[in-house]
Amino acid sequence: MLTYAIKRVALAALILFVVMLAMYGMVFLVPGDPASVALGPRATPALKAMLTERMGLDQPVAVQIWRFFANAAQGDLGIDVWSKRPVLDQILEAFPQTLLLGLVALSWALTLGITLGVLAVVYRGTFIDRALGLVSVSFISVPSFVIAIYLLLIFAVWLQWLPAIGAGKAGDIPSQIKALILPSIAVGIGWVGYLARMVRASMLEIMAANHIRTARAFGLPERKVVTRYALRLAIVPTISVIAVGLGSILSSAVFVETVFSRPGIGTLITGAVFKRNYPVVMGTVLVTTAFYLLVITAADLLIAKLDPRVRDALAR
């Protein structure tokens, strides 16, 4: 188990390194130097020289790459050339907002998704099961930003029940909760469908297992069989799905934050992409990738610990 853990963590670190090296390499592959690309038509020689120096582009490539990694390891992701603020500060401000949005979205999606999945199993083969199946597929396939915009139109523009933009006033919790409702629905809705399907599929598989037949043979009520004996096992695979799905949550957060003008990683990086603000883009990608790798590695280790079959396979 320990060897497995060390291997997994080392692999994650290696991947992070490869990714950042590749991204850094890409910047140099592009025709034209980043400074004049970033400045666009406003580029005067003096301005260009200043930006080149400030971005450290006057140094040899190897030195630049070394500096980037050495600084990043110390938590220094460079200075945003436009706002002159440290990149890390901006990321640390934005990240909790995105994390909050993702967690709220995921928690309601988990609650509803698992409930719907169990309902589909309890009523399997009936009209309810088929209707839930259709609803799940529809939820999965419709893009989150279209849902976000339709929600905005209905609840913020027509009915005016909820705010259209922002994350609520600082210190005013009720306004922050109100501002979170629509975005979290938009981010979470696809997950409701996905989780419902997954829980249904893995429950059906488990319901055919021997221990369920034994439980029934002992005369346990069906409710208890479903919730105590089947659901508990069916939840294990959802852990890894949720961890890997974090990437898709980040993606929908980018769109949904833009639609609702919410501060967060999504608005930070899209704003930086427009201005070709390399330090902010690189920093954001580094931090989100590191976080993502951390979560999937942790989930793999957790599953290895929870599921005796995986644990035994590793021990061999």
Question: Cα(189)–Cα(201) distance, rounded to whole angstroms?
Answer: 19
- State the nearest-atom distance from the C-beta of 280 to another protein, in Å: 9
Question: Cα(223)–Cα(213) distance, rounded to whole angstroms?
Answer: 14
List all residues 6 or more positions away from 100 whose beta carbon is below 8 Å from its beta carbon.
180
Kindly calculate the radius of gyration of the chain based on its CA atoms and give it in whole angstroms: 24
Nearer to another protein among residue 179 and residue 282 (C-beta): 282
- The count of other CB atoms within 10 Å of the CB of residue 92 is 12
What's the burial of 64, exposed, middle or buried (CB within 10 Å: 0-12/13-18/19+)? middle
Cα 229 from chain centre = 31
- State the nearest-atom distance from the C-beta of 28 to another protein, in Å: 10
Is-contact 97 167, C-beta < 8 A? yes
Nearer to another protein among residue 165 and residue 177 (C-beta): 165
Is-contact 113 192, C-beta < 8 A? yes
- State the nearest-atom distance from the C-beta of 41 to another protein, in Å: 14
Nearer to another protein among residue 115 and residue 251 (C-beta): 251
Residue type at 160 in one-letter notation? Q
Question: Cα(49)–Cα(53) distance, rounded to whole angstroms?
Answer: 6
Closest by alpha carbon to 54, among 42, 73, 46? 46
- State the nearest-atom distance from the C-beta of 173 to another protein, in Å: 28
Nearer to another protein among residue 176 and residue 240 (C-beta): 240
- State the nearest-atom distance from the C-beta of 164 to another protein, in Å: 8
Question: Cα(39)–Cα(47) distance, rounded to whole angstroms?
Answer: 8
- State the nearest-atom distance from the C-beta of 311 to another protein, in Å: 23
- State the nearest-atom distance from the C-beta of 149 to another protein, in Å: 6
Nearer to another protein among residue 146 and residue 306 (C-beta): 146
Nearer to another protein among residue 82 and residue 172 (C-beta): 82
Torsional class of 108: left (φ above 0), alpha (ψ -120 to 50), beta (otherwise):
alpha
Nearer to another protein among residue 103 and residue 134 (C-beta): 134
- State the nearest-atom distance from the C-beta of 27 to another protein, in Å: 6
- Residues near another protein (CB under 8 A): 11-12, 14-15, 18-19, 22-23, 26-27, 29-30, 37, 124-125, 129-130, 134, 137-138, 140-143, 145-146, 149-150, 152-153, 157-158, 204, 246-248, 250-251, 254-255, 258-259, 269-270, 272-274, 276-278, 281-282, 284-285, 288-289, 292-293, 296
Question: Cα(235)–Cα(200) distance, rounded to whole angstroms?
Answer: 10
Token pair listed for 175: 């306004």
Nearer to another protein among residue 218 and residue 274 (C-beta): 274
